[in-house]
Amino acid sequence: MREELNQGLIDFLKASPTPFHATATLVQHLEAAGFQRLDERETWSTETGGRYYITRNDSSLIALRLGRQSPLVGGIRMVGAHTDSPCLRVKPQPELQRQGFWQLGVEVYGGALLAPWFDRDLSLAGRVTFRRDGKVESQLIDFKLPIAVIPNLAIHLNRTANEGWPINAQNELPPILAQVAGDERADFRALLTEQLAREHGLNADVVLDYELSFYDTQRAAVVGLNGDFIAGARLDNLLSCYAGLQALLNSDTSETCLLVCTDHEEVGSSSTCGADGPMLEQALQRLLPGDDYVRAIQRSLLISADNAHGVHPNYADKHDANHGPKLNAGPVIKVNSNQRYATNSETAGFFRHLCMAEEVPVQSFVVRSDMACGSTIGPITASHLGVRTVDIGLPTFAMHSIRELAGSHDLSHLVKVLTAFYASHELP
């Protein structure tokens, strides 16, 4: 099972270079399992035992299984994750021609580690909006091939490079796509028009706009002398999205279960389709109108699944000595008394109880008292819905790098405990 899950994650990461593609890949898996799309613009017709999903902005998704037992009795079992990762986004008017090279201006999305983006084989993917036959349409594209690179400056010209230097995102990050000759003018929208025709057979009249991101073409892989690790891009947080999907598809339960994977977590979640927006609340209120909504929420529980910081052997002093999660030692319960995580003693105790029952190892993380703590969709969703929440995640290294590292045993641990959560008969 472990090897099969790891390979499934590797395939999922390859198919999901952007939040748009991640959502489309989730939809493919859900539809193959019999889930039906609900259109937010239409009246919903649902039935007990039904399987449904909704998407918003093509980059956020809610999947739900309506249990035979009413949520007014058993509550709703929710798992939350996010589809976005730090990256380099192409600017609206990106064309740069300097020293005979065609480059694209980029904007840093989220809190990215910038140095690892140099000297990588980069491709480009995302959503393009265009006009065809007088109508406005949108389509996902993925160049897949390495079409760009951000070369480092040679050590001979930057003798202090290994002492660390501030990277200027405006000047140093524009990727190089090609050389241009003479008076030749590079036209990025023409390139996108060609890609639409090549990838989808669409003859666009004009490209109107786009949301496109560069990504590393190196495929995720199981690595290490004994295959102890998974290395790949966007483990934060597509790893949790994939684990939640597998748990939802594998669980056998009479309870109502929900998986929510939202965009824009890395930039604060404040959007129409982010966790700080109304998407989840509106969906639940449509399923549970009036007083039923509040009653069901008070019987429900959310597991907010987002990667945790594993204790790095070269930087162990960055962790509290008693709270250094180890790779391949199971999921981590994340705690912060200032509510950067939404965990409390009851929700942590319940998650620990699930892990013990499933013989899954479990760990705890508290940030050092002299360091700032990050946050997740957990506190945001908890404050919007009033739902009890526990923040958990798998330990990783190099979070927000272009290539992150997780334990190859931990995915199966997480899927096992999330499956048990969906199937649990009683919530605290």
Q: How many CA atoms lie within 13 A of 112 on its CB side?
A: 27
The pLDDT of residue 183? 73
Q: pLDDT exceeding 90 applies to what percent of the chain?
A: 94
pLDDT value at position 274?
A: 95
CB 244 within 8 A of CB 64: no
Asked if pLDDT for residue 259 goes beyond 90, the answer is yes
Q: Where in the chain is the domain with CATH 2.30.250.10?
A: 87-216
CATH 3.40.630.10 domain range(s) in the chain? 2-85+233-423
Query: In Å, how far from its chain's centre is CA 21?
Result: 11
In sequence order, the 6+-apart residues with CB closer than 8 A to the CB of 388 are: 300, 301, 302, 344, 346, 347, 382, 428
Percent of the chain topping pLDDT 70:
100
Q: Which CATH superfamily is domain 2-85+233-423 in?
A: Zn peptidases (3.40.630.10)
- pLDDT at res. 185: 82
Q: What is the pLDDT of residues 142-196, one digit of tens each?
A: 999 999 999 999 999 999 999 888 999 999 999 999 998 877 788 999 999 999 9
Tokens of 369: 């008292």
The pLDDT confidence band at residue 425, using thresholds 50, 70 and 90, is confident
Superfamily of structural domain 87-216? Aminopeptidase i, Domain 2 (2.30.250.10)
Closest CA to 330 of 302, 300, 355, 299: 355
Q: Are 405 and 398 in contact (CB under 8 A)?
A: yes
Residue 1's pLDDT is 83
Over residues 265-302, the pLDDT tens digits come to 999 999 999 999 999 999 999 999 889 999 999 999 99
The mean pLDDT value for 388-403 works out to 98
pLDDT at 164: 85
- Asked if residue 349 has pLDDT above 90, the reply is yes
Q: What is the mean pLDDT of residues 57-72?
A: 95
CA distance 164 to 373: 24
> pLDDT-based confidence at 119, cuts 50/70/90?
very high
- The two tokens of residue 4 are 């099969």
What per-residue confidence (pLDDT) applies to 165? 85
pLDDT, mean of residues 399-416: 98
What's the confidence (pLDDT) of residue 426?
85
Express each pLDDT in 222-237 by its tens digit: 999 999 999 999 999 9
Question: What is the predicted pLDDT for the residue at 101?
Answer: 95
Q: Over 90: is that where the pLDDT of 252 sits?
A: no
Average pLDDT over residues 72-77: 95
